[in-house]
Amino acid sequence: MNNNSNIGFGTAAIGRPLYINLKQNKEAEKPFSLAEFKANGMQTLEDAYNNGIRCFDTSPGYGLAEELMVTWLAHKKDPSISVSTKWGYTYVANFDPKATVHEIKEHSLQKLNEQWAYSKKLMPYLKVYQIHSATLDTGVLENEAVLNRLHQLKKENGLIIGLTTTGANQVEVLQKALDITVAGEQLFQSFQCTFNILDQSVLQCKEALQALQGSLIIKEALANGRLLPNTRYSKYEGLYGFLKVLAAQYSVGVDAIALRYCMDSFVGATILSGATNKGHLLANLEAHTFSLTIPELEKLNAFGKSSEAYWKERKALAWN
């Protein structure tokens, strides 16, 4: 089996029917079936495992994803599996494809305790417990009751405490979080950040991110699908052209080039695949078959845009 330890599996899109992506290959509309959706999710977890993936990322905010993971893990007896989950978002769309509100954010001690009560079922595979989308405006990084409770959960359960960042000020949030200590220990030892060819902002914290006790987890490596050549973003034609040249050179898809860019930029990080089917998953895993050269990485770096412009475009994406 290939060593696919650098690629982790993100469960957002297998846990709720609508997610932020482009759905370029939309199937003919058919009525949503929760039973079929669950079966597909379980199969995709199994496909990920059978193809060497051992890191899985989930959240209560991802619909039934945590429940799928708990059910799936009950049949596994493999201590090499590790899971990260989060707290702070509640899924409220009830699997309704017409829902307009999908999730509610709440960074309170009460929400932490409520969601932990279910997430602890992921033990003993649960290794990383993250604040879901920590931002400065929720005040979570100054909430002593929350920080102390996270420290207590770390001590009692042998967890690594982490947080995820989203938005134009990821670097600011990271810098603030890196300075937080509880009982003389640095509290946050794992970060899940958006990093891809278009938003390279977290490279500014590279040294600190590579010195963590836990791993850096990279999400949205494909910019929610925007890095896959498509006609909606003609402004990226130059980038698409170069990605296609590299894909042909390494006999892989453009998705594998974009994932490899993350692996080669942050050696040792876990890069999440957000695949919803085996075809995409296997194509993503091709990222393990080659490495990019320094001149190729430098040329890709030149396609980065400002965080403000990146997140403005990201916010305009619809739930699909």
Ligand X SMILES: NC(=O)c1ccc[n+]([C@@H]2O[C@H](COP(=O)([O-])OP(=O)(O)OC[C@H]3O[C@@H](n4cnc5c(N)ncnc54)[C@H](OP(=O)(O)O)[C@@H]3O)[C@@H](O)[C@H]2O)c1
Q: Catalog residues that contact ligand X under the rule CB under 6 A.
A: 10-13, 21-25, 57, 132-133, 164, 166, 192, 219-225, 228, 253, 255, 272, 274-276, 280, 283-284
How is residue 141 written in tokens?
């990084």
Q: How far is the CB of 193 from ligand X (least distance, A)?
A: 9
Q: How far is the CB of 98 from ligand X (least distance, A)?
A: 19
Question: 127 or 280: whose CB is closer to ligand X?
Answer: 280
Question: 199 or 296: whose CB is closer to ligand X?
Answer: 199
Question: 12 or 177: whose CB is closer to ligand X?
Answer: 12
Where helices occur in the chain by DSSP H, the ranges are 12-15, 34-50, 65-73, 109-119, 144-157, 170-178, 206-210, 237-250, 254-265, 278-285, 294-301, 307-315
**CA distances from residue 286 to 4, 76, 120, 252 in whole angstroms, order as listed:** 9, 25, 33, 6
Q: How far is the CB of 16 from ligand X (least distance, A)?
A: 10
**CA distances from residue 24 to 14, 245, 292 in whole angstroms, order as listed:** 17, 21, 27
The alpha carbon of 99 is separated from its chain's Cα centroid by a whole number of angstroms, namely: 23
Q: How far is the CB of 188 from ligand X (least distance, A)?
A: 14
Asked if residues 57 and 192 have their Cβ atoms less than 8 Å apart, the reply is yes
Q: How far is the CB of 164 from ligand X (least distance, A)?
A: 3
Q: How far is the CB of 254 from ligand X (least distance, A)?
A: 8
Asked if residues 200 and 258 have their Cβ atoms less than 8 Å apart, the reply is no
CA distance 266 to 116: 30
Question: 43 or 77: whose CB is closer to ligand X?
Answer: 43
Question: 256 or 292: whose CB is closer to ligand X?
Answer: 256
Question: 88 or 242: whose CB is closer to ligand X?
Answer: 88
